[in-house]
Amino acid sequence: TRRRQAALRDLPGRLRDGRSIALWANIGRPAEARLARDNGAEGIGLFRTEFLFLDRSAPPDEDEQFAAYRAVITELPNRPIVIRTLDVGGDKPLPYLPLPPEANPFLGVRGVRLSMQRPDLFQVQLRALLRAAFYGDIWIMLPMVTTLADLVWGQEQMREAAAALAAAGIEHRADPPLGIMIETPAAAVLADQFARHAAFFSIGSNDLAQYTLAVDRGHPTLATQYRADDPAVWRMIDLAARAAQQAGIPIGICGELGGEPDAAVALAGLGLNELSMAPARIPVVKERLAQTSWAEAQAAAARMVQRVE
């Protein structure tokens, strides 16, 4: 199978009967982009930008962020690169971003909610992203979205950043795709409404499982109750997939579920356009998908969702 995996490396992801399903990589630092490419990633489905903000006394400025985003473009030119805006919260305090203590940080000010409280920081990140988007196929993704107002706010912020760059005569792309993570039950349940406004969806199965099942994703004794492949989570994923397809927007997954071969088959069967995973997971998942027909994938999906046809 090593030989087969190597032979598939530079080919696009496909099912046995030819239906395409792109395999993208999750990265947490620009240096990992090379690893993504070496494993045959056709794009970056999740670039977590937290590394820029952690372990320092002041936030990164626009040029530093721009350089980090451009470095990924340089490794994967002409490939889609989904960059997620800052996703921290009360569980990971930053010295320059004091947050009041919260009884339940995972239900508190995190992801886009933190950006809404600190639009100054968000504008700097958006400006860096729009500047990078001039040089590559950058998609911008908002984490922890629960209401349509979160997305509308993000769209307004992007327009504001673009206007500021235009006024200053700085090269940028004003309208890269702006999409959302589907990682809260609210986003999954309202996916039909979100799909009319978002450019794309990406399922964050790690948090989606935590919030759907009401189990802390790192809980020391409830590990068996925290399952990203629980039928309840599959129902959520199914809702999002149908809504995306109805609206004609792309949908992928960037939670760890997408890197598990059995789950990947079922996700392909739900019609996802793209599976994004740790670079090292790509070869085995690509091989497995290449051995699976579209009908088999659809049957696997129906079993997971426990849909009565």
Residues with catalytic roles: 254
When asked if residue 274 is in the footprint of ligand PEP (CB under 6 A), the reply is: no
The burial class, CB within 10 Å (0-12 / 13-18 / 19+), for 202 is buried
When asked if residue 271 is in the footprint of Mg ion (CB under 5 A), the reply is: no
78 is in an annotated binding site: no
Strand 44-48 versus strand 137-142 pairing type? unpaired
When asked if residue 206 is in the footprint of ligand PEP (CB under 6 A), the reply is: yes
When asked if residue 48 is in the footprint of ligand PEP (CB under 6 A), the reply is: yes
- Exposure b/e, 67-104, CB count within 10 A at least 16 = b: ebbbebbebbeebbbbbbbbbbbbeeebeeeebeeeee
Q: Give the integer Cα–Cα distance in Å for 161 and 109.
A: 23
When asked if residue 204 is in the footprint of Mg ion (CB under 5 A), the reply is: yes
Q: How many residues bind Mg ion (CB under 5 A)?
A: 3
When asked if residue 256 is in the footprint of Mg ion (CB under 5 A), the reply is: no
CA atoms within 13 A on the CB side of 273: 15
Q: Give the integer Cα–Cα distance in Å for 28 and 205.
A: 17
Q: How far is the CB of 14 from Mg ion (least distance, A)?
A: 28
When asked if residue 207 is in the footprint of Mg ion (CB under 5 A), the reply is: yes
Q: Which is nearer to ligand PEP, 190 or 228 (CB)?
A: 228
Q: Which is nearer to Mg ion, 207 or 256 (CB)?
A: 207
Residues 157-186 that bind Mg ion (CB under 5 A): 183
Stretch that binds ligand PEP, among 161-169, 193-201, 202-210, 230-238 (CB under 6 A): 202-210
What's the Cα-to-Cα distance from 56 to each of 47, 69, 125, 293, rounded to whole Å? 20, 19, 16, 49
Taking a C-beta distance cutoff of 8 angstroms, is the pair 292, 13 a contact? no
Q: How far is the CB of 183 from Mg ion (least distance, A)?
A: 5
When asked if residue 260 is in the footprint of Mg ion (CB under 5 A), the reply is: no
262 is in an annotated binding site: no
Which parts of this chain interact with Mg ion (CB under 5 A)? Answer: 183, 204, 207
